[in-house]
Structure 1
């Protein structure tokens, strides 16, 4: 059976596991990948001005997203008041401490570049709280859990792509200290997060089971509610576009979208043979890049 590995640890597991196997994976992953240490990072930057010019927006965006994990945990508590023990173990005790430390490391790099700290939003919206209330309705918790796993999987695939390209870009500039002691260690933890979401979705659909109406509702809600990681408004959508352009997502956008949509293509759209990318994901990426281009004056949006 194909394996999904978190690189460098014992946390290699089959894509499809039982609920017990998923729990063991989370426990092993936590042991293999404790939160990163700021003391172990080398924040030496040879050319702060050039790094800031090329990747300042990337660092600012990624720092904000990682530090907003505090809000994400509050949202998950509100969304899934009856979360499984494994879900709660993962997001409270494993994912959250790791992501928060990622944000601290990235913020330290920003400071070494002479940048203003990223602004974070830690308020939980009324919409999230309302969805949490709806989770008590028959069958709704399963739908909400599936959407949580799909969102997490798409987020983590986006993160792996972004951090991989940032490592390569910084390395090409000769900025090996922050590439190898900050960005690369962060990147090594992200595949384990993706593996959790992918396996959790598989356990939910394959072992626990969802009815046809639950899957259909998940398709409808996913199509209508999908957004890119860290995007909550139009300005942030353009900010994501800045990141995408800086990391050259726009040069191979269909492949980026294919990777981001991997789990939902497997679970929601498998019956659509030949569907490479759900249209809503490609549209979101294209809109973000278009907004970034328009904001930077690369073309006239009225003519697009």
Structure 2
């Protein structure tokens, strides 16, 4: 059976349904009953702090999007301003509250305004042909970020279940986890629609491939220290155990849309390198700390 063709109407309807079906999580619904806080803290302190920070930085992300993609469609604006941002803000509060219930310091998000590089992209985005390349890269980045989040929350949910921490699993982690696939679907359909309808000319696709291969980044990993932190999330949640499989899952959409003609290339080399370098940076940090102890 052939999958329904993606078009602008279908994407808009998806965003509307997403907002109606998944309002921001009610903070009062969270149950922070913890059976063994020390065990949860030992197991998840690093990943929770990192994930809370990324979720709480949505305010800065929205400002960056407004600069980087001027004149977006009403569907894009509806998604990132009215659906995605309010949901993500609540995710950040839920995770930060959990962090503090575990006796850890409050999360410190980076809420500085758009960077110089984002402002440069915003200036270039006023050129229509460049704007469309940036828009595709926004969708691909969003898809890989959401897929990474889906894998992380799934792993954490399963481990909390095994630890008997049912309240945290059900009312915090699973409450967040259930909203992430809808975000991923928006990015997937939006990128797919651009490719299927021929929005981009061949030279624009070549430019998108080049930029993506040179500027692929890990969510929240804006400094060497935070890259190692991301590696800690991968390692701590078991996602580094089979890193190639993890990266294949994360990058499947862009592999399909950008690199499908490259026979034998199941995982973009630049994506695998970024994940591997982060995991290696974390292992090096641990080894250094062990030697210094």
TM-score by length of 1: 0.92
Shift of 1:279: 0.3
Map 1:173-184; keep pairs closer than 5 Å.
173-184=163-174
Query: Is 1:164 aligned to residue 163 of structure 2?
Result: no
Partner of residue 23, structure 1: 12
Please give the secondary structure, in 1, of the residue aligned with 2:17.
helix
- Tell me if the contact between 1:226 and 1:280 (Cα under 8 Å) persists in the aligned partners: yes
| 1:240 aligned to which of 214, 227, 230 | 230
| Matched residues, number | 290
| 2:129 aligned to which of 109, 126, 139 | 139
Query: Is 1:88 aligned to residue 69 of structure 2?
Result: no
1:122 and 1:81 map into 2 onto residues whose CA distance is: 21
List alignment gaps of at least 5 residues for structure 1: 4-13
Please give the secondary structure, in 2, of the residue aligned with 1:261.
helix
| Alpha-carbon distance change, 121 to 299 in structure 1, aligned in 2, over 3 angstroms | closer
Shift of 1:174: 1.1
TM-score by length of 2: 0.96
Query: Is 1:78 aligned to residue 29 of structure 2?
Result: no
Partner of residue 7, structure 1: none
1:92 and 1:290 map into 2 onto residues whose CA distance is: 36
For residues 137-165 of structure 1, the C-alpha deviation after alignment (integer angstroms, 9 at most, x for no partner) is 24001100000000000000000000000
1:93 and 1:138 map into 2 onto residues whose CA distance is: 25
- Tell me if the contact between 1:293 and 1:299 (Cα under 8 Å) persists in the aligned partners: no
Shift of 1:274: 2.5
2:76 and 2:38 map into 1 onto residues whose CA distance is: 42
| 1:45 aligned to which of 20, 34, 58 | 34
- Tell me if the contact between 1:241 and 1:291 (Cα under 8 Å) persists in the aligned partners: yes
List alignment gaps of at least 5 residues for structure 2: none
| 2:218 aligned to which of 228, 243, 252 | 228
Map 1:213-224; keep pairs closer than 5 Å.
213-224=203-214
4+ residue segments displaced more than 3 Å: none
